[in-house]
Structure 1
Amino acid sequence: MLLPKDPVILLSYVNTQLRDFYENLEDFCKTNGINQEDLENTLKSINYSYDIQNNQFK
């Protein structure tokens, strides 16, 4: 899967996918062949981290 390169657009895309289609970040990453650690580090660079209870990056 080709993800947006811009971290802000990536944030919006991932949160939308999590909200609409996936129960958690692990499912999203496994289904789409995404390295979860890399994704989390990219979004940490703009001060967002995954909130497991809300299933979104905040």
Structure 2
Amino acid sequence: MAVPNDPVILMSYLNTQLRDHYASLEDLCKTMDLDPAEITAKLNTIGYVYNAQRNQFVPA
């Protein structure tokens, strides 16, 4: 399945996946064959960063 292209929808989708299925962004990216640098760069454009302690994207 392709991930959403819109950054806001992508953030919501990824946070749901991280909460429900994955222990880390690294695990999610490996499983879904995604580039973590590309994902974080796209979400940085809307002011979100990955917080490893919370295992979710949060406002910067």
**1:47 maps onto 2:44 in alignment:** no
Name the CA distance, whole Å, in 2 between partners of 1:42 and 1:3.
Answer: 12
**1:30 maps onto 2:30 in alignment:** yes
**Would you identify which runs of 4 or more consecutive aligned residues in structure 1 move more than 2 Å?**
none
Identity %: 52
Name the CA distance, whole Å, in 2 between partners of 1:22 and 1:10.
Answer: 16
Give the match's secondary structure for 1:49.
Answer: strand
Question: Higher strand fraction: Structure 1 or Structure 2?
Answer: 2
Q: Name the amino acid aligned to 2:8.
A: V
Unpaired segments ≥5 residues, structure 1: none
Unpaired segments ≥5 residues, structure 2: none
1:8-33 per-position Cα deviation (integer Å, ceiling 9, x unaligned): 00000000000000000000000000
What's the TM-score, normalizing by structure 1? 0.97
Q: CA offset at residue 38 of structure 1?
A: 0.1
Aligned to 2:16: 16
